[in-house]
Structure 1
Amino acid sequence: MFAGMATQQKQSTIDAATVSEYLKLVLNATNKAERESAEKALAEMAAITVYAPTLVNLALDKSVPFHLRQSAAVNLKNYIDKYWSSKEFNFVGPEPSAEAKAFVKSAVLVGLSDSESRIRVLMATTASKIANIEDLESWPELFQSLMSNLKSGAPDQIHGSLRVVSSFVDDISETQFAHIAPILLPQVYEIFANQNYNPRVRSRAISVFRKFLETLQIVEKSVPTAVQEFLLPQLPTWMHAFHQILAPMDISNEQIIFKTEIFYVESTTIEYLVSKFPGPMKPYFPETFQLVWRTGTTLFPVYKATTITTSDVDAVEEVDTDGDVMGLNSLLFNVFAIIGVAAENKGMDAVFVGTDDSNEFLKALVELGVSFSQISDGQIESWEADTNAYVQEEDETSPSFSMRYSITMLFDQLTTRHNLRFLQALFTAVPTLFEAAKRDSITEGIKSGKVSFDFNGFFEHVIQECIKCDSCPLLQGRALVFSSIFYEYIPTNQISQYINAMAAALSSNALSCKIGGLRALSQLASNSTLYPYFTQSIGNIIESVCTMAPSATEDLLLMLLESLVPFVKVDEALVTKYEASLIPLLVAIWTRDPEDTLVNVCVLNVFTTLSKNKLMFDALQVRLLPPLSHSIGDANLMTTQPGVYSNALMLLGVLIRGAASPLPLAYMNTVFSPLIQAMVTSIDNGILQEGQDCLQSMVLKDVNSVINWNDGSKNGLSYILDIIARLLDPNSDESSCLYIGSLITAVIKKARTSITPILPQLLSAIMSRLATAKYTQLIQTLLLVFANLILEHGSVAIVNFLGEVTVNDGVGQQRNGLNLFLNTWSDYYDEIMGFYNLKLNAAAMATFISQSGSDSRVTAVLVKGGLLLSADAGIVTRSKSKKVPDQYQMISFPAKAFKLLLKDYQQNRESAMKGDKAAVDELTGDSVDTEDESGEWEDDAAELDEAGDWFEVDGNEEEDDDTDPDLINNDIYNLKMTDYLSNFVKTCVQNNGVQFGAIANQILDGAEKKILASILSI
């Protein structure tokens, strides 16, 4: 097919036989070396311009064995990513010639009609990749060929073309959309509505329709009439077809498979229509919902017969050509997904609660949901055979996807929208399963009297009987967990009895009962107010966990380790009695599989908790420090098992942070020297990261011992500075120094006198690293070094220093240090993470502007302001964004700083508000709809009070922060940011700092001016 073209090329030529031979070598390789050798040869051929045409010829040649055709098609697909265009991120090169590209594009279009579905799919993927790289205008034959295939009536051609269409629809401009949509959508509908095509082809047509809807939503922003022009004329026919498919209640296997094929895509399309286009969907959704509801109720007898009481699921399941499982469960998942969408829609409230608040439908829905969520015989057998499967299934934080999980998600949606009405329906329908709802909502509803339920009677007559039911361990376990969730309703004098029952369950022969007891105890032990009730049982609980852990694996082991964290906190004096068994057990688990990250993290969490127990720490230190010293001194371990070595460093860090200050001599005498050697020589990122953490902790704990340590060549501080210099080298791996800023700040803070002479060199090295840094985390840690210096020493010295520094930006350009720093700071100000770091960042910028905002060197620095949008910009597609990078207004740094600090003030202000417009109605759970068209679903929208009360504290003060306590400036930590930033702004206005008036009038946008006005009005 490509004969003659090769003779025109200057490069070496290849033929199909040569390429075919190397493809065979890759497929038939018996070891890694053979495969890599053949792959290298193919990579060398890729530089020859006829390589891609040769691949496509092989892929489409029906005389070639299928496995080679498929291999050629896969290689062609991968070739596009690396060679097709030099503008692509993954480009390796060289690009094929224009003639070769034209040939490949023409051949790929032919391949969309191939009789082999896997070849067809690969050709479609290749065509999509090319279309996403090039503009559609540069490949006009593509759309013409696709339309021809879609009109052909040939299933193979339609299948391949639909795949391509669905991939490029989201990358067309509004102009292209206006031309393509009226032509393509009707044809796609014809395919969907044609019952002669198989369900997979028809569902693919629905997916194209869904893609058009997504693009339409974007187009509507620039063309307000787009919905009226393109959706409203099409919607009646599509919805009519959807209803025709949903209406038949035939429950044969064939109908279930068919409905699943269509429903799989249709349900997400309906969901998208309802959420994004509520106005146009208003006439259709009630009928859609009724059909979906009927489908769910009709399928329950089938589900019960094939899933709950037997395990004959295969009778109603098939795997389609894309590997998706089509069958009863898949169909039901989608049914409940659409019901969930309806539950969240205010326009459907009358359906769920009734016009007279009778809640009849809610009650029926709850009964159906609970019926579907029953534990099946097959599940019980599976759990009895595999404990880890049971633990994973019941894990609330990472449950496996199942029918019961699907129902739980639906119940969560109902709780959010209909709150107490739903909970009352749940209690009325099935009081034994209402733990699926949210505990806080239940508690609040019962305490307020708006939900009626006899908890005392329920615990006395139901829960206690369930706990005693030895013949049903699953029920026992559930009853124990339920007791821990709603312990507030247990009489105070009975709490110890329940805890003792939970502890006794740990000795049960039934694992489901053991696991229920363990979950319940862990839940209660996490509440420090309940510690007194554990007095009689905590010792037995810890012993039971220690007994179960050695033989536990995977999910059960993780659960046991996680439960130890709250258990060892209950009685710090008592837990010391178990250190002889507890610590060796944890070490054994830790060393049993050192590469298991999840287990190591859990073990480390237990050790961290124990290290905070002053009564336990000496024993912990005595048992752990010697083996850790041995491991860290093992150079062979460092090179052969770097993961194990970095884990040892991680545990060493736990000990250092828990140790006394100054550090015991053992740390400097046994671990400091090998730690330094590892940090000087290792190239493993894990070792370098954990080593930095250890060094930081040692400097903060005992900097004098670090300075006084000497190996005859250098002292400890000099070695640490060498390590910092190594990590700051722009040629080193960024991943190795993501937290280097904390170590630098610790050194500067603790070694003030010793560090002063070399501080300029250190800051210059930081700037060199900052100039080339790509990772946000690294940039953040380096910026915060300067933020700390600004707050501690003022900004004037920083401006003077950076103003004289010149930095290489990594691409051969020299940049002024002050310009680089201020541009980077303004670009990444919003990327700073962590409760303390956010305050530190804002306070440093406010201080900088207060002290140096009028400095001519600072006002001369221009940074990115707002994004500039041209009037004819339209939709920014992938291809357009590659050709036209974003353009920004350039403004002075002080102006950008004010914009950032005003935004910071507003975010802190909103976080501190006690009530707002999204508040949930106390009875119904209704929240304010934010969709522009939400009013179309209700005739009378309630007016909401926009006024809100204020909290005294900032809203984010409850967030966790992992900043080392010794690095925290308490004055900054305790700042009330709204007050601080408000005072800063008022001071600037009063003093007209850095010509504040000009900035306010010329640079601030409308929203920022409103924020400013609100500050000045206080």
Structure 2
Amino acid sequence: MASTIELAQCLRATLDSNPNTRIAAELKLSEYLALPEAGLALSTLTIAHDAEMPLRQMSFSAIMLRKYVTERWSPFFSSFKGSAPSLETKSQIRLAVFHGLSDPNRKIRTLCAHTLSSIASSDWPDEYPDLLSSLIGLISSGSSDSVHGAMQVFTEFIKSDLTEDQILPVLRDLLPVLLSILGAPEVHAPLTRARTVSVFRQCISALYMVKGQHPQAVKEAIATILPIWLEAFKVLLSTDPHVDIANRQDWDALAVRIQIFKTLDTIHTSFPRALTPYLNEYLSMALNHLTSLLGTFSQYYLSSNEAAPRSSENEPIELPQLICPIFDFTGAVIRGGKSKGWFENQNLSTLIASVFNFLQMTYEDEETWATNPNVFVAQEDDETQQYSVRVAGFDLLACLIDQTRSHTVAAFQTTVQAIITSSQQARDSNQRDWWRPLEAGLAAIGSQAEAVQDCVEDEQDAGRPKPIDIEFLLSSVVPSVLSLSEYPFLQGRGFVFASQYAKLLPVQLAGQYVNAAIQVIEANEAGVPVKISAVRAVHNFFQGGDGSTLSPFASRIAKDLGPFLLITSDDTLSLVLEALSVVVQVDKGRWLDAELATSLVTAILEVWAKNNKDPIFLSNVDNILTSLASSSADGIYQTVVKLTLPNLCQAMAAAPLNESWITASAIDLVSSLVSGASEGALGDGFFAVLAPSLFKSLGDAEDRDVIQNGISCLTLIIRKDCGQLLAWSESGRSGLDCVLTLIAKLLESQDESGGLVIGDLIIHLLRRAGESVLPVLPQLLQAMIARMTTAKTATFLQSLVIPFAFLINNQRDTVLDLLESMNADSRSGLDILIHTWCENAETFQGFWPSRVSVMALCQLFVSERPSLQNLIVKGDIIVKPETQNVRRAYFISTHLISFLGPHEFSSIPFPVKALKLLLHDVQSGGESATITAQGDTFDVESDDGDEDWAEEGNVKPNDEFEYLSELIGPKGMAFDNDDVLEEEDDEDLQKDPVSTMDMQAHLLSFFRECAARNTFNFSALVDQMSAEEILVIRRVTGTSSAQ
């Protein structure tokens, strides 16, 4: 048993300068920590103030105590190692740690707060019921040390440990005490007061989380609590923030303001109505803060690298930590749209001018970006940029331009014009930082390029003057900065800005800009920032640019970018790949030659070999290879394939099973080559080279990506050059045999994720190799029918049903005869297919699959087979009180029905169900019109959802579930799978007659002919439908009765 003295000696030894002594003590300490009494000894040492225990050793004791808690306290902790202390010992440790919250030393208080927070997460409330009352008592004690320690516990506690029922009672006792601390600056330190606001913010978030469970109580609490705090915030923010930082050794006082603006943002998000009366005042205070703080921001962040004062707790409190919440809060208010009047006067232009000022590159930005290209690239990328004042400022400008577009753009013009004038004056005065405001102004306007251009177009279309003169900037301002190599960030910004507004450039001027960017890329003396900016500009110019203008530059820029692929990494490499991917698409690659293609492919393969696990890189490599392979220049496809295919096949063959991403990505790149090939022109021996590696990889594969990529690759090959697959054989097995073996494997597997694309493979196999498949077709269909009985996901079921729909459209009677003769689970194949089809028809995704299903249902109906007439399938939902708002079952996918809860359905003959499905397609699935029971017809102009949101109040009750059905049905996503089929069908299916026919006319003709001939006893079937359906059929068929 180790005594407290022995443990103290051991701790002291761990801090010894002699490494041997230190290592021995650390090993001994690990043994001590496993003993039951270790925790109590450590807690005693943590708060022991005597000459024998220096502060450094006390702090280390506190650190080891927290480690002890997480490893020995309770199985609650994931790192628990056993030997938990007794309940009595725990109580003693808790008491000692709680005592440490009032320790005169700040560091000890903080360490004890962290430890107590960990203990509370495990013990409260069952084993530590008096914790909350004790903490509230501590912060009510008046002792600044005690308040500081307790506040640190509360910060974490409110966030994670209170339940719905505990929050309201705790807040009633806690918040008044917090407010008294916040309002006593002469007693409590700024950081402690800031923590009261932070805890209050956690309380607001907690109230929002329980609003649903306790709406009235939360409403009353907000009405009581918020006005008092909001008034307090007004008082605190009304003082000049410059007072908090002028001639101060620390900027602790800023922490209160930081927390207030963060809290205002949270309140606006959670309870916006309560904040609305105060918004104008807070916006004015926010703007006053920006105006007051700009001088200090310029002093410490723009003009020099002078370090800003640190806080008293050695944690940085920087001006950006205040500027960002101000921007965020202001942006949130703008999006909320409740203070439009505030922005209608001088406030808007003043705010925009302030934002432009704070967007200037800081001294730290300049140093970092000049030496770290990846960081420089990332800060310009919407998806990877780190949060900063610049990013927050861009977001705020986006909010402004979204809500008050023309006024904001006009303010952009005023602001940038003032910047141009002042920058020129500063430059003439030899001020070294003259370029920063101009770079910031161009960056700001460039960040909103799309919205600015839309605004200009709209204003001109309306006969009003342009609110901003971008052409002036492009012709008179930007060209002058492109040669300023001593100011690389401004020079680079000029290139990027011009490319962001490339649509407004005359052809000749656009060519000059592109040529200038290429010259920078080629210049050995150009630095990192301007080269990267030039590459980004090239990407922007070539993306969607005019092919005839850009084609003369394509070969040159491709040669320049190629070497960068081998010397860049991470974000910079991604940028180079993105630029190259748009360059090689220009003019369909007619400008490529064998030498350039060889160098590019060699570099691309090296990039792939180093980054074959990164999906972002792979996407760009995929696009580049596809573009190279599809080049219309003579011999380029052959060159690309000759260099690429053997390497990829070798990678597949050599990849270990536990590195499946290599195989998956290699197969994906093979698909890129196939995509680029012309139909029937994969090239001699293409499949012969690929097949052994591909089929072996797929035979061994268990990884989803390998299987899906392999199926997609085979599907592409069948579409492009099926003859090669049919002609290939090895060891007595043909290519077709291998494909059928793969399909059988996927059908047998219970993992349906790998079978999401199997339907496409089967469809194209039947379309392209139907005669070759005929001998094994019965076995294939039998396997598909058997799998239908166990399949669960909608997308996999679609893969099984749609091939039958295709076959029925082409060989109806033969297929039906075959299905009638099949059996699985004591049911006929026809029975299984029809039940599966009817239950999933409305979840089919894709244009062609949905249409081929409709066509096949028509074929089934007109066949008048007795076996179909006798099949009973699931009909409409049976309306009960709890489901009375669900109008017609076929407007709701089966997945939504299961989501809503258990329901009962009627049972109806298949012919009736077929008519219901087809009638539904007439009403809501036709491309040109929707027909209602009342006979109304209206054009469907768009399915992007904007109109539905904009006119939500005008939606008819009968339309609500129809809209929902379409949202999650044929055109929407299946609820049961994260993998979604491609929205667009491939080119083959787009050209198929099923895709190009007038489906609406076909269905109307179908109904009219069935009515005229009384097909399948049509009139009797119609009588079994709902009253509304009967009315629609009468209108469609033009009859007063069903006949």
Distance 1:206-1:971 versus aligned 2 partners, 3 A rule: same
Aligned amino acid, residue 517 of structure 2: M
CA offsets 1:848-879 (integer angstroms, 9 cap, x no match): 899899966665326878999699xxxxxxxx
**Residue matched to 1:619:** 639
The residue that corresponds to 2:479 in the other structure is 464
Q: What is residue 353 of structure 2 aligned with on the other side?
A: 367
Superimposed CA distance per residue, residues 80-129 of structure 1 (whole angstroms, 9 cap, x where no aligned partner): 9xxxxxxxxxxxxxxxxxxx9x999999999997964344434554579x
Aligned to 1:504: 519
Looking at structure 2, the residues matched to 153 and 978 of structure 1 have their Cα atoms a distance apart, in angstroms, of 76
Correspondence for 1:425 among 405, 408, 411: 411
More deviation, 601-610/976-985: 976-985
Residue of structure 2 in register with 1:889 after alignment: 903
Question: How far 1:989 sits from its partner (Å)?
Answer: 11
Tell me how far apart the structure 2 counterparts of residues 901 and 254 of structure 1 sit (CA, whole Å).
69
Distance 2:226 2:763 in 1: 62
1:523 pairs with one of 534, 540, 545: 540
Could you give the per-residue CA deviations for residues 295-336 of structure 1, whole angstroms, max 9, x where no partner exists?
33333233222322344566357999xxx9864323222111
Aligned-pair CA distance for 1:397:
4.5
Q: Which residue of 1 aligns with 2:266?
A: 268
Give the C-alpha shift of residue 723 in structure 1. Answer: 1.4
Q: Percent identity?
A: 18
In structure 2, what is the Cα distance between the partners aligned to 1:650 and 1:467? 41
Distance 2:849 2:603 in 1: 37
Q: How does 1:526-541 map to 2 (within 5 A)?
A: 526-527=543-544, 530-541=546-557
Structure 1, 386-395 or 695-704: larger mean CA deviation: 695-704
Q: Deviations over 1:375-414 (max 9, x none)?
A: 1121111111111111111224543322111111111111
Is the 1:388–1:556 Cα contact (8 Å) retained in structure 2?
Answer: yes
Mapped to 2, the partners of 1:638 and 1:426 lie a distance apart of: 57
Q: Distance in 1 between matches of 2:571 and 2:869?
A: 61
Alignment partners' CA distance in 2, 1:901 and 1:294: 61
User: Equivalents in 1 of 2:199, 2:862: separation in Å?
Assistant: 60
Report the number of matched residues: 853
**3-state DSSP of counterpart to 1:627:** helix
What corresponds to 1:451 in structure 2? 466
In structure 1, what residue type is equivalent to 2:299? A
**Alignment partner of 1:965 is 2:981:** no
Supply the distance in 2 between the matched residues of 1:799 and 1:121 (Cα, whole angstroms).
72
Instruction: Give the match for residue 637 of structure 1.
Output: 655
Cα distance change on mapping 1:428 and 1:639 into 2, 3 Å: same
Give me the whole-angstrom Cα distance separating, in 2, the residues matched to 1:244 and 1:574: 68
Match of 1:40 in 2: none
CA deviation profile, 1:927-972 (whole Å, cap 9, x unmatched): 979899xxxxxxxxxxxxxxxxxxxxx999xx98564323446344
Match of 2:9 in 1: none
Q: Report SS of the residue matched to 2:252.
A: helix
User: Residues 509-529 of structure 1, C-alpha deviation per residue, up to 9 Å, x if partnerless?
Assistant: 12322222222222222235x
Relative to structure 1, is the Cα distance of residues 228 and 833 closer, same or farther in structure 2, using a 3 angstrom cutoff? same
> What is aligned with 1:329?
320
Distance (Å, rounded) in 2 between the aligned partners of 1:662 and 1:314: 67
Q: Matches of 1:1015 and 1:142 in 2, distance apart? A: 76
Matched-pair contact (CA < 8 Å) for 1:787–1:844: yes
Cα distance change of structure 1 residues 124 and 752 upon mapping to structure 2, 3 Å threshold: farther
Cα distance between partner residues in 2 of 1:770 and 1:410: 53
Distance 1:445 1:885, change over 3 A: closer
State which drifts further: 447-456 or 384-393: 447-456
Distance in 2 (CA, whole Å) between partners of 1:658 and 1:514 is 31
For residue 726 of structure 1, report the CA deviation from its aligned partner.
1.5
- Give the aligned partner of residue 437 of structure 1: 448
Call closer, same or farther: CA 1:538–1:282 in 2, change over 3 Å: closer
Residues of 2 paired with 1:916 and 1:747: CA distance? Answer: 34
Letter matched to residue 294 of structure 2: F
Shift of 1:364: 0.3
Judged with a 3 Å threshold, the aligned counterparts in structure 2 of structure 1 residues 536 and 692 are, in CA distance, closer, same or farther, namely: closer
Match of 1:211 in 2: 206
Match of 2:738 in 1: 719
- CA apart distance, 1:986: 10
Structure-2 separation of matches of 1:915 and 1:750: 33
- TM-score, structure 1 normalization: 0.71
The equivalent of 1:481 in structure 2 is 496
In structure 2, distance between residues paired with 1:665 and 1:157 = 78
How far the C-alpha of 1:370 sits from its partner, in A, is: 0.2
Alignment check: 8 A CA contact 1:373 1:404 kept:
yes
Distance 1:201 1:372 in 2: 29
1:680–1:539 distance in 2 versus 1, CA, 3 Å: closer
The AA in structure 1 aligned to 2:479 is: Q
CA RMSD of aligned residues (A): 5.3
Residue 582 of structure 1 corresponds to which residue in structure 2?
600
In the TM superposition, residue 696 of structure 1 has moved relative to its aligned partner by: 2.0
Look up the equivalent residue of 1:332 and give its one-letter code. I
SS of equivalent residue, structure 1 residue 574: coil
Code of the aligned partner of 1:417: Q
3-state SS of 1:254 partner: coil
Contact 2:718 2:765 in 1 (8 A): yes
Q: Do the aligned partners of 2:663 and 2:706 also contact (CA within 8 Å) in 1? A: yes
Deviation at 1:374, TM superposition (A): 0.6
Structure 1 partner of 2:15 = none
1:982–1:1015 contact (8 Å) kept in structure 2: yes
Question: Do the aligned partners of 1:351 and 1:361 also contact (CA within 8 Å) in 2?
Answer: yes
Amino acid at match of 1:270: H
When residues 285 and 862 of structure 1 are mapped into structure 2, their CA distance, relative to the original with a 3 A threshold, is same
Per-residue CA shift, 1:694-748, capped at 9, x if unaligned?
22223333434433433344322222111112122234x4444442222222223
Q: Distance in 1 between matches of 2:578 and 2:625?
A: 11
Matched, 1:200 2:195: yes
Matched with 2:58 is: none
Tell which deviates more after alignment, 847-856 or 376-385.
847-856
Inter-CA distance 679–233: structure 2 relative to 1 (3 Å threshold): same
- Report the counterpart of residue 133 of structure 1 in structure 2: none
Q: Which residue of 1 aligns with 2:567?
A: 551
1:303 counterpart = 2:302 = no
Deviation at 1:836, TM superposition (A): 5.5
CA displacement 1:881-938 (0-9 Å, x = unmatched): xxx9962333358479977986767999899447999789xxxxxx979899xxxxxx
Amino acid at match of 2:497: F
CA displacement at 1:350 relative to structure 2: 1.0
Unpaired segments of 5 or more residues in structure 2?
1-34, 45-63, 101-111, 140-146, 182-187, 246-250, 418-440, 885-897, 908-912, 931-937, 955-969, 973-980, 1039-1043
Q: 3-state DSSP class of the match of 1:582?
A: helix
User: In 1, Cα distance between the equivalents of 2:222 and 2:1006?
Assistant: 51
Where in structure 1 are there 5+ consecutive unaligned residues? 1-53, 81-99, 129-138, 355-359, 872-883, 921-926, 933-953
Residues 1:513 and 2:545 are matched in the alignment: no
Q: 2:903 is paired with a residue of what secondary structure?
A: strand
Separation of aligned partners in 1, 2:698 and 2:67: 50
1:409-450 CA-to-partner distances (Å, cap 9, x unmatched) read 111111111011110011111145322324332431563434
Provide the secondary structure at the position in 1 that maps to 2:338: helix
- In 2, Cα distance between the equivalents of 1:1012 and 1:303? 75
Q: How does 1:683-722 map to 2 (within 5 A)?
A: 683-722=702-741
User: Which of the pair has the greater relative contact order for Cα pairs under 8 Å at 6+ separation?
Assistant: 1
- In structure 2, the residue corresponding to 1:861 is in which secondary structure? strand
Mean Cα displacement is larger for which, 601-610 or 983-992?
983-992
C-alpha contact 2:608 2:621 (8 A) present in aligned 1: yes
* Counterpart AA for 1:526: Q
Map residues 198-347 of structure 1 onto 2, 5 A cutoff.
199-200=194-195, 202-216=197-211, 229-250=220-241, 251-252=244-245, 253-274=251-272, 278=273, 280-311=274-305, 315=309, 327-347=318-338
Deviations along 1:488-527, one digit per CA (max 9) or x if unpaired, are 4434443332332222222231232222222222222223
Q: 1:674 aligns with which of 678, 690, 693?
A: 693
